[in-house]
Structure 1
Amino acid sequence: MKNKRFFILILSYFLFFIGLQHYYAQTSPTFIEIKGKIIDEDSKDALIFADIIILDSNMSTITNSDGEFVLKVPDSLTSKAVIFSHLGYQKKELKISELISNSKITLTPSATELSAIEIKTFKNAETLLRETLKNRHVYNSDNALMTGFYRETIKKRRKNASLSEAVVQIHKQPYSNFKNDAIELIKSRKSTDYTRLDTLAVKLQGGPFCNLYTDIIKYPEYIFTNDNIPLYDFSFGESTQVNNNPVYVINFKQKPSIIEPLYYGKLYIDSKTLALTNAVFSLNVENRKLASEMYIRKKPRKVDVYPTEATYRVNYRTQNGKWQYAYSNILLTFKVNWKGKLFNSIYTLNSEMAITDWRVNNTNIAKSRENMLKPTTILADETSGFKDPAFWGEYNIIEPEKSIESAIEKIKKQLKRT
C-alpha cells in the first residue's frame, strides 16, 4: 500500500551519498530586501508559518519558527502592498514603502464560531471530509511552474549534523487530473558533518518530493483512501478563520481497534469553497515495529531504529480565486539503539518547502530535462555556497532559524580554515 511508504520518505544507514548537482547561471535584477518579524498583537508571541504575499503578484514567502521573514522585492513591484496572514488571525495589508523601516508586524487574533445551522449542512465530519477531497475544481486548473525553496536538516540531539538547501522549479500538474508533478533542480548547497553522525549516515531519499506529497488534495492516497477512511473517527472542532473567512475544523484519529499505524490531527476547511486551507497531522508511532517498517528501508543488523515522532503540516493559499499548494513541513525524530552500547542516539530530520513564485505554463509539462529530480534523489554534498552571502541572489527563501544561522556560520569558518 502506498501509505506504507508515506511521502516516499526512506531512511537508509550507510556512508555513501549519491547525487548530482546542477547550477543555473542567473542574472540578478535590482531588488530591495525587507526583513521583519510577525507577532501576536496581544501576547507578542512570534507567529510561525505566517504567509507574506506581494499584492497583485505571485511572489511570496513564509515566516520561520522565530516568526521572522525576509522578502526580496523587485524594483518593478515596490509600489505594491504586502498581505500578511495567519491561521486564526485577521489579515493585514501594508505598503512596501511602510515596511522598509517597519521590522515588527502585529496580527490580531480572530475567532469565529460557525452556527449550528451551518455545521448541520453536513451529516457529520466524515461527510465534509469526503466532499472536500473530491472538490478539486476550486484548486488551480492550469499547468503551473512554481519556484520553491527547500531546506532539510538532520540533527543529532540538538546539534546540526547535515544542512541542505535548494531552489527548485515545480512543474505542477492541474488538480483536475491525476498526473504526478515533476521537480527541477535550479540551485543547491549542502554540508554534512559525518563526525556528528558517529559513522552512521542517515540517507534522506526523496528530498523536495517528500514535501510535495504532503499536498493531500493532489495526493490523497498517502493518507486518506476510500478503504482507510472508515478506519478513522472524525469530529468537528472549534471553528476559526483564514484570511477573515470562517473555517471548519475537523479532528481525526484512528479507531481504537485498529493496530496499523495511521494518522491523527486537524483539517481546516474553508466554509465557502470547501477547500482544504491547512492540515496538521502526525503518525501514531505507538507500535514501534509497524511504525519502523514504514520508514526504515535498510539498516545494519546491530542497530534498532524506530520513530518517536512524525509530524506533518501543509498550507494552501488562494491566487486569482483558486487554491494551490503553498508550504509544507515534515518533522521526524528517530531513536537509534546500537547493540553493545550503553547510550542511544536521537536524530531529528526536518524538511520544509515554500512556494515563493509561480506562473501559469500554457505548454505541456516537460517530461525529460537534464536537471529533473527523481523521487529517490538525494541532494549531494556541496559546501561552496555557504561562504557566499549572496548565493541565492534574487530568490526568495525562508529566513534561517537562529540555530541554522549558527550552523551556517560554523560552516563558513571551516571553509576559511581550509
Structure 2
Amino acid sequence: MATIIPILKKHLVYLLIILAAGLGWSQNTEFIQFSGKVTDQKTKKALVFATLSLDGTNVSTITNTEGEYLLKVPTSSENGSITVSFLGYTNENIPLSSLDRENGKIALNVSITELSGVNISAPKDARGLFEEALKKRGENYFSQQTVMTAFYRETIKKRKKNVSLSEAVVNIHKAPYGSIRKDKIELYKARKSTDYTKLDTLALKLQGGPFNTLFVDLVKYPDYVFSEGSLDYYDFSFKGSTQINNKLIYIIDFNQKPEVSDPLYRGTLYIDAEKKILTSAVYALNITDKNRAAALFVRKKPRDVKVWPTDVAYRVDYREKAGRWYYGYSNVVLEFRVKWDNKLFSSPYRMNAEMAITDWRPNTSGEIPKAKDRLKQSIILSDEAIGFSDPQFWGEYNIIEPEKSIESAIRKIQRQLKRTARQGNSIP
C-alpha cells in the first residue's frame, strides 16, 4: 500500500493516493437544461472555468477544460437571464430566451482598463497587501453559516487515457470565514467508473475526496499553505493588474526565497485593489528533489515500485454576492510517475480533483449534520460510489460538463459491463 502524506505539517493533509497491488437547491419536479461553450470573442479560444450564474438566485456552474458548460435551471426561471464572467473579461448578461439550449455559444470580450480612470500604481508592500486581505476576511467574505450544494469530480489518467472517474453531489456546511471552525460535508449522491486493466496492476485511489478541494479555500484555510511564521520564507512581488466585474485587481506573485531548501510554494494571488479581497489564487508546490518529494507524499507502497510526484498544483476562485465573497470553485492536479523495478520505463499518471459550488442558502437555523452523517476526511470516494448505471442519476443538480475524453471512457466501460452481463446471463 502507498499513501500520499502532507507536505509540511499543515498542508492539504487529505490529498492522498493509495496504490494496492493487484488491483443545489432542493429537488424540484421540472427544470430546463442549457449546454454550449464559452470562448474569447476574437481568438475563439475556449475559456476554462468561466462562471455562469442565474440572476436573482444562487444557482451557478462553470465551464470545463474545453470551455463547455451544462446549466440546469428551474422552469420558474425560464424567462430569467444568466451572467457569464471570467477573470480579465467583461461580464456578459444573456436572457435565457435567446440562448440555444443545446449549442449555446457565448463569447466574452477582454476587459480594457481605462488608464486615466484608475490608479494602477504598484503596491509598495505586496506581502502586506496579502496579509491585509486575510485580516479582512471576516468583513469581506461570508460572515454567516451557509449550506452549499457542490459538485465534485476526481479523475485518474494514465498517460492520456482516463482509467478512473468518481463524481459526487455534496452538501457543505460552511462555517463563517471569521470562525476557526472547520466546514462539514454530507454526501448526497456519488458514482464511479474505473478500468483497472490500464493501471499497471495497481489500484490508484484518492483519499480525502471533496476535502482535497475544500481545503484549497486559501481564505478559510491559509495555514495549509502559509503556516504560522512561514510568510518570512517567501518573496512577494507586484506583477501587474487586470479586471474582474469591472473592478481593478492586483496580481501578486510569490515564491519561496532562494535560501529556503524545504519544498514550499510558488504562485499568483489576485487581490481586489480597493477592498483588499483575494478573488482567486493559482499556486503549486516547488518540487526540487524527487526523492524528498516522494518521502513527503508516499507513506506505503510495494517494495518493487517507486512513486514520485512531478507536479502538484492548486487553484481556487471566489464569487461575490451582495458585497460578500465566498468559495466558488477549486481544483487540485497531481502528476506523478510509477516505476516497477523490473521495467525499463516509468508510467506517468495524472490525478485531478475539482469542486464547484452550484447553489447555496443561509444556514439560519445553525444546523450541523450529525457525526454519523458527515463525510470522514479519510474517505475514498471511489469505494463509496455505486457506478454509472442510472442515466437520471443527477436529476436537476448542476454538474461540471465532462470532457469528451471522460465521456468516451465512460461509454467504453459501460459497453464492457453490458457485454459481461450478457455473457453472464447466457451461462446455464
TM-score category by the smaller chain?
Answer: over 0.9
> Sequence identity of aligned pairs in percent?
51
- Tell me how far apart the structure 2 counterparts of residues 373 and 115 of structure 1 sit (CA, whole Å): 52
Aligned residue number for residue 6 of structure 1: 11
SS of alignment partner, residue 39 of structure 2: strand
* Map 1:75-224 → 2, pairs under 5 A: 75-100=75-100, 103-112=104-113, 118=119, 122-136=123-137, 137-224=139-226
Aligned residue number for residue 50 of structure 1: 50
- Tell me how far apart the structure 2 counterparts of residues 265 and 255 of structure 1 sit (CA, whole Å): 13
CA contact (8 A) 2:10 2:225 kept: no
After the TM superposition, which of the residue ranges 44-53 and 358-367 deviates more from structure 2? 358-367
CA contact (8 A) 1:113 1:238 kept: no
- Tell me how far apart the structure 2 counterparts of residues 407 and 5 of structure 1 sit (CA, whole Å): 36
- Tell me how far apart the structure 2 counterparts of residues 230 and 119 of structure 1 sit (CA, whole Å): 27
- Tell me how far apart the structure 1 counterparts of residues 295 and 10 of structure 2 sit (CA, whole Å): 9
How far is the alpha carbon of 1:265 from its aligned partner? 1.2
1:177-211: CA deviation from partner (whole Å, max 9, x where unpaired): 01000010000001222221122122311110000
CA contact (8 A) 2:123 2:238 kept: no
How far is the alpha carbon of 1:224 from its aligned partner? 1.4
CA contact (8 A) 1:191 1:382 kept: no
1:69-127: CA deviation from partner (whole Å, max 9, x where unpaired): 01001011122210000001000101111113562111001143778995668431111
CA contact (8 A) 1:54 1:81 kept: yes
After the TM superposition, which of the residue ranges 362-371 and 292-301 deviates more from structure 2? 362-371
CA distance 1:259–1:121, change in 2 (3 Å): closer
CA contact (8 A) 1:2 1:222 kept: no
Aligned residue number for residue 312 of structure 1: 314
* Map 1:285-324 → 2, pairs under 5 A: 285-324=287-326
CA distance 1:270–1:114, change in 2 (3 Å): farther
- Tell me how far apart the structure 1 counterparts of residues 122 and 195 of structure 2 sit (CA, whole Å): 55
Letter paired with 2:219: I
Q: CA RMSD in A?
A: 2.2
- Tell me how far apart the structure 2 counterparts of residues 407 and 351 of structure 1 sit (CA, whole Å): 17
- Tell me how far apart the structure 2 counterparts of residues 2 and 387 of structure 1 sit (CA, whole Å): 37
- Tell me how far apart the structure 2 counterparts of residues 5 and 337 of structure 1 sit (CA, whole Å): 29
- Tell me how far apart the structure 1 counterparts of residues 336 and 400 of structure 2 sit (CA, whole Å): 25
* Map 1:269-288 → 2, pairs under 5 A: 269-288=271-290
CA distance 1:121–1:253, change in 2 (3 Å): closer
After the TM superposition, which of the residue ranges 305-314 and 221-230 deviates more from structure 2? 221-230
* Map 1:241-252 → 2, pairs under 5 A: 241-252=243-254
TM-score by length of 2: 0.91
Runs of at least 5 residues in structure 2 that lack an aligned partner in the other structure? 1-5, 422-428
SS of alignment partner, residue 11 of structure 2: helix
CA distance 1:46–1:284, change in 2 (3 Å): same
SS of alignment partner, residue 304 of structure 1: strand
SS of alignment partner, residue 298 of structure 1: coil
For this pair of structures, how many residues does the alignment match? 410
Letter paired with 1:112: T
SS of alignment partner, residue 309 of structure 2: strand
After the TM superposition, which of the residue ranges 408-417 and 202-211 deviates more from structure 2? 408-417
Aligned residue number for residue 23 of structure 1: none
CA distance 1:15–1:127, change in 2 (3 Å): same
CA contact (8 A) 2:166 2:191 kept: yes
Aligned residue number for residue 265 of structure 2: 263
Letter paired with 1:352: E
Letter paired with 1:154: I
SS of alignment partner, residue 132 of structure 1: helix
CA contact (8 A) 2:193 2:410 kept: no
CA distance 1:33–1:231, change in 2 (3 Å): same
After the TM superposition, which of the residue ranges 325-334 and 116-125 deviates more from structure 2? 116-125
Aligned residue number for residue 425 of structure 2: none
- Tell me how far apart the structure 1 counterparts of residues 172 and 320 of structure 2 sit (CA, whole Å): 18
After the TM superposition, which of the residue ranges 353-362 and 156-165 deviates more from structure 2? 156-165
Runs of at least 5 residues in structure 1 that lack an aligned partner in the other structure? 18-25
1:152-185: CA deviation from partner (whole Å, max 9, x where unpaired): 0011111111110000000000001010000100
TM-score by length of 1: 0.93
Letter paired with 1:72: K
Aligned residue number for residue 20 of structure 1: none
CA contact (8 A) 2:164 2:194 kept: yes
CA contact (8 A) 1:260 1:290 kept: no
After the TM superposition, which of the residue ranges 194-203 and 310-319 deviates more from structure 2? 194-203
Aligned residue number for residue 349 of structure 2: 347
SS of alignment partner, residue 386 of structure 1: coil
CA distance 1:111–1:295, change in 2 (3 Å): farther
